Structure 1
Amino acid sequence: MRVFSRLLATTQTPAGSAASFKAAPMALLPPIPLYRRLLRAHRHKLPKDMRLLGDEYVKSEFRAHRDMENPVHIIGFLTEWQMYAQQLEGDSWRGEHMDRSKIDKMSDQQLGQMYELMQTIRKQELEENDPEHQGSH
């Protein structure tokens, strides 16, 4: 019984301490609510062209990982997407660079996907800033 009560115990911090201002870690969302949250965040936080690109990417990633069975991969997948949603909702993603340790852990396929995504974003930016392209609309 003592082990059980220890699992339920939480650390208490005084109301005035700085630690009380830290956000408690959020529970991991199940895939469908997380998927909906991501699309909703895109709708509210991204410009239309970036939203379309982001929505397609989210849809393809969730579709590609739908049959994943390894619990470690599932938790990693959901954790990364949930952190992305939190960053997007808090506007802390603007100007952010990807953590080098995450890049080092990526497979060749993941690196290829990141490169394709980067190329697509750059192409869109060039088209938006091209005066000839803007006049053709």
Structure 2
Amino acid sequence: MLIGALLTFTWLVLLVRYPSRALAISLAALLGLALVAIAVLWQDNREQRRLGHLELSLALDARCPADQPLRARLRNGSDAVLHDLRWQVGAYQGGDSINLADSSYDSPRYRAPQTLLPGSAWAECLPLPPLRPGYRASSLEFRAERLRGRFGE
């Protein structure tokens, strides 16, 4: 906070004392900052587009072990290699928008394999998230939420 105030004060003094030089330098710095902001927004938009091409489905599966009854199926429909994918699981009653999964600090962490090539698929049995009291997993539908991924070329 103090450094920001000091920089602002210094810039104002230079702008008053040397207006032509300070204005030229300020415009150059503003242009550089705008270029960095555009690059960050473009990269974030590209990552969101690639995440949109992933197909991740979650469902209870009787063939999975009892301690990991949730079957996750992931297909990489993007044009890039998926290096890392993390998500949270939400549990909902049919047609309802209230998340019945208790997300606490000790909830399971859900991750895809380290590398998934474009067009390839992955499936694995995962543990259920802790549910609110009074709800059974067999009566709920599960959705992947808050996907965070990292892609490579």
TM over 0.5, shorter chain: no
TM-score (norm 1): 0.22
Higher RCO, Cα 8 Å, sep 6+? 2
TM-score (norm 2): 0.21
